[in-house]
Structure 1
Amino acid sequence: MKTNRSMIRTALAACGFGVVAMTGAHAADTISVVTFGGAYEAAAKKAWFEPFTAKTGDQFATESYDGGLAKLQAMEQAKNPTWDLIDLETNDAINACDEGLLEKFDKKTLGNTSDFLPGSISECAVAAMVWSTVYAYDTSKLKTAPTTIGDFFDLKKYPGKRGMRKSPKVAMEWALIADGVAPQDVYKTLATPAGVDRAFRKLDTIKPNIVWWEAGAQAPQLLADGAVVMTQAYNGRIDDAVHKDKKPFKVVWDAQVYDYEWWGVPAGAKHGDAARKFIVASTTPQAYADLSKYIAYAPPRKDAIPQIDKARLNDLPTAPANFKRPLQIDAAFWADNADAINKRFQNWLAQ
């Protein structure tokens, strides 16, 4: 019997498999993952999901959403999590961890973490990439190129509709910067009632011209359809439209609001072990660099940078030419204030 097992191991090794791989294949899981969909999900499939499936046999069932914790909270209350892996914005990652909606993550499983960017590993989640909210325009339709966030709010110089995500997050920050607040003073201003009033007053100046979108894929589509002359968008969505769909779009990087995107495992996830193994596999320097091949999001590990083509670096949020006047989203501010500002935002929309 030992001889037979030895022969099997030898045969498997010759075929490029190991006994661990065979065991994994017998115990293959289908990881239910929810992401923001669109170009990012497509890039994640190429860079991360497909290689992980090839290596482990585990499959992925994907679902798209636009953030928030409502469904995750409902799953926890029902003690019936149907997601194994969730793509989170920073404030949602913080709140989900605080509410016990995510499992704790053992960062020791990531190996040497000294090259991770500050704050990119939390108690319950690991950063998947660095992304930015920017605005973009169609170069074939605007004779004069906008260059600042002020231009986005200038209906006289640039008449026409503006696309914006149906959320106060980033809209409030942009309104203050366009109204003259320095990026470094935005959250200090927004933390006051007068600052919130000021942001809404600035938004009032373009409110009739705003076309609201709720899913990230809608932003470049609004621009392509000519429904708007400029649109707030995730930088990766615009990059995807430019490079894959050959759209004549251009990003304005002024006042870009950048943030981390996170992987977390919902509490009680049925395939939590497989999801955690995926997180480890997708956060190596090479895996981070691989994502940038398919979408213009930056890696949260310094050691990934040398593995990215120099020309590609110019498309990333953190490239020096693009990073002249950025604003890092204050996740703690939004974690503390999202409910109150969201309530006022909804009332403002209804007025």
Structure 2
Amino acid sequence: MTNPQLLWLRKNLFNTWYNSLLTIICIAFLIWLAKSIIIWTTTQAQWTVVQVNLRLFLVGRFPQSLYWRVWIVLAIASTLTAITWGVFSSKQHLTKRQIAVYTFIIAGFLMGLPGDLTSRSWLLLISILLAIGFGIGRKFPKIILPWLSLTWLLSFSLIIWLIGGGLGWQSVSTNSWNGLLLTLLMAAVSIVLSFPIGVLLALGRTSNLPIIRWFSILYIEIIRGLPLIGILFLAQVMLPLFLPVDLRLDRVVRAITGLVLFSAAYMAENVRGGLQAVWRGQVEAAKALGLNSLLVTILIILPQALRAVIPAIVGQFIGLFKDTSLLSLVGLVELTGISRSILAQPQFIGRYAEVYLFIGSIYWVFCYSMSLASRRLEKQISQ
């Protein structure tokens, strides 16, 4: 250990006798806690419940003969994610050794997942696509960046078509969309729809037109004053009452409506905070140059406002992703709902710790990935 490290420890952890005592007690507690977790994980936990029901956790009752659609969806999403990661890390210097290590770790993790020969073949293909996509994103960032958002939107429509079928393909009922598949779809659709609605509500709340401003204020304050579970029940029960008799919305569509209505109100307040942070002198200068109000909003106000509230927006996205766990209370079998079904199996009754630790780790991986991506985006924008 070098001298600067010793100085840091002495200054921050052992500068007084009571600070030294507290440091020793905390270290001892952390060692005991880590030892207990390792012992329970390796000797006491029965991970058979996860291994046997892994497909139920991931895709639920999706027809096994159509798993190839899910693999194609995973390949598309993984490739676009790798390309996006490559584009936003293009300014960072990465050696060939670092890239090889990252590729080896990701490929090893994917290939280490349990599965048959077909699953392992798909995982190997996805590992190769991840490496190729990351290389393409780093090599052509200026060409790819303007088309990245449009590509994600088009791929999103393709993913919905692959999972749901139709247009000449066998249709798959939404009752068969379960587990992590349903959780990701619900979260992705809700995020994509709630963001523009939230931006429009934020602009409406700052509008000079009284009707638009008061409508936006009433909507935001009413929705923010209601719990999400109440809105989900209202969307399931009352939304069909406002529609024609011959129009029957699917349960998934109604649940998405509830999530979007709820998230858009909070998104509007996050964006409004960014709008208030924009210096009004820039608006006056733009109008003096001859720009109309629409161009001023699109080209000057919104880019700066959204940049200022990226952490708040991503925090809202993370909260929305975790809020999908409430859908099990309205009859949808997403990740939490399928876990309750698995725990009802006679041979796995009482295995709550293993099941909820597994799905908790899944939630953490996706939430931390969104947080990491937002920090990468902030760093990229600030350069």
TM over 0.5: no
User: Which is greater in Rg?
Assistant: 2
Of structures 1 and 2, the one scoring higher in RCO (CA 8 A, sep 6+) is: 1
Which structure shows the bigger proportion of residues in helix conformation? 2
Which structure shows the bigger proportion of residues in strand conformation? 1
- The TM-score, its normalising length taken from structure 2, stands at 0.27
- The TM-score, its normalising length taken from structure 1, stands at 0.29
